[in-house]
Each structure stands twice: as structure tokens, then as C-alpha cells.
Structure 1
């Protein structure tokens, strides 16, 4: 009876790890539209919202990718974008 319990626990542990891995991958999906809540803070120098700050933190691993995109570079690399990131406590990456 003990062997089936151990096997069941091992299976549950594997499933939980697999689910956690999927969540991590989903958290770093690079989608520039996720930063739309920051547009007003970047373009008009208004203070960033809580949502903006959470999205910048979430999308931080993607910023270098965005900087390589000519259509996004001027938006992401602007002085105001760097100021918003700083205000949100998110260090701007060195790409």
C-alpha cells in the first residue's frame, strides 16, 4: 500500500512543477500592448499608475527585445520611459 502512495505523491509533485513552469513562461510573454497603461505617463510626463508600474515590472525582461524593434525603440528608449521605469522602481536593462 505504501508504494502507490509514494508514486502518487511523486506524480503530484511533477504535475505541480510543470504547472509552475507554465506560469513562469506565461508571465514573461513579450507583448508591447501590455505597456499601453504607461502611454500617458511616458508621453505627457504624468505620474505612472499602479497598473503601469506592475506592467513595466512584468515586461522588463522584454525591454531589450522592444529596443531592437525600430517601431518601439523611440517609445521605450525615451527619457520619459526611463523616468517612468525609475519611478516604478524597475531598473532599466542594459542591452
Structure 2
């Protein structure tokens, strides 16, 4: 009986550690996958045509805010992120321009 209780406690501990590890790995993959520049597609008109940003654009911009420095450093995206229209859009949406 004592051996079964000991094995059960090891099993519960192992399951808890395994669950915690899976949750941590899941969080890491979510944060890595969060930087997806195409998520800012609703902002395209605001950046290229100086149109007012839509509510969806502002929502997406706020979600992608932690990624903006990464986008600035990307040669293909930096010119859009640093453009005057993008800065105006960010100001309208209440998203500070990052200093990278």
C-alpha cells in the first residue's frame, strides 16, 4: 500500500511538471508566431494612400506593436514602417513610434 502511494505521488508530480513544460513551450511558440507583418494588411491604405486608419488597422497595429522594431530592421518593411504616413497612422491609433 505504501509503495502504491509513493508511485502515485511521483506520477502526479511528473504530470504537473510535464503540463507546466507544455504550457511554457506553448507560450513560447505563440510569442514567436505573434510577429506576422501580413497582420497589418488592414493598414495598407493608411500607409500607402494616407487614408485614415480603420478601427481594425489600429487594433492590428496595437497587437503588432512589440514587433515594430523587428519590422523597422527588415529591409523590405522598414521603408513602410518609417514612412510619414505610417507615423501619422500610429499617432492616430495611439501607438508610439519605437526607438530601435
Matched, 1:70 2:75: yes
TM-score by length of 2: 0.70
Match of 2:6 in 1: none
Gaps in structure 2 of 5+ consecutive residues: 1-11
**Aligned residue-pair number:** 90
Give the number of the structure whose alpha-carbon radius of gyration is greater.
2
Superposed CA offset, 1:47-66 (max 9, x none):
10011000100001101001
Q: Which residue among 61, 71, 75 is the counterpart of 1:56? A: 61
| CA shift in 2, pair 1:25/1:74, >3 Å | same
TM-score by length of 1: 0.73
Give the root-mean-square deviation of aligned CA atoms: 2.6
